[in-house]
Amino acid sequence: MSEHRPLRSYGRTKARTLKPRQAGLVETLLPHLALDLSKEIDVRLPAPLRGGAGGGGSGGDLSGEPAARTPISDSAPQGGGESLDASPLVLEIGFGGGEHLVAQAAAQPHAHFIGVEPFLNGVASCLRHIEESGVTNVRLHHGDARDVLARLPDASLDRVDILFPDPWPKKRHWKRRLIQPEFVSELARAVKPGGEVHFATDWANYAAWTLEVFARAPYFAWTAERAADWRTPWPGHVTTRYEQKRLGDCAPVWLRFARLA
């Protein structure tokens, strides 16, 4: 990683005091699910040291129908019949309260999921969802997603979900936005050819900003063919609490970018 830390792309990291149950999960469960960033991340992500079987999700294909790669769908082998090395790997950056992340993991028990969130209260909420659902295919990092990305092997990710990141709406703060040319280049290194980046925002300027940054990079292609492609969520999307609040200045914009070979 660079010797100079990049500008922080997120706001606060903690709000109200955690409830006793949440604090307990942070103390006892998080250490078993936390990534070890002292070395390259092992994408096989073995099961954590705790009980529980794959939870009962809603099912359905959550891959957004990507091409030229192993789809993340319920039709793929599940359980011990599939090699861990062949399991799809999904990174969700800024998972908020964890509703989307855990629902995806429960519906796709054959895939591996990594969730990153700097907000401690969100991490605690996600841990509660993990415990209640019983999913065992999720790993977490409480901190900066760029640190996780730097520790992932080349071409290891099948999909990256970036849902409603901090928009930094004031022009003087745009340099703090997560989507920057350097970040997109690092995504290109870690995402497999044919893999996808899913980005959603309810700020019009951030949507335009993201399209411009990706358009200038030679690594990705915007997959939209008609207006409905960016006006409606991709298949399998799970609505989050933040999304329901409608805090932005426009209806949600849904962008999909495919990694070029």
Strand partners, 114: 91, 139
Distance in angstroms (rounded) separating the CA atoms of residues 256 and 196 = 7
Starting at the edge strand that comes first in sequence, how are the strands of the sheet with 191-201 ordered?
A: 138-141, 112-116, 89-93, 157-163, 191-201, 253-259, 220-222
181-201 b/e (C-beta count within 10 Å ≥ 16 → b): eebbebbbbbbbebbbbbbbb
Distance in angstroms (rounded) separating the CA atoms of residues 61 and 68 = 16
Q: At what angle do helices 204-216 and 181-190 cross, to 10 degrees?
A: 60
Annotated active-site residue 166? The verdict is yes
Query: Of the listed 166, 202, 229, 249, which one is catalytic?
Result: 166
Burial of 156 (0-12, 13-18, 19+ CB in 10 A): middle
The count of other CB atoms within 10 Å of the CB of residue 239 is 12
Residues known to be catalytic: 166
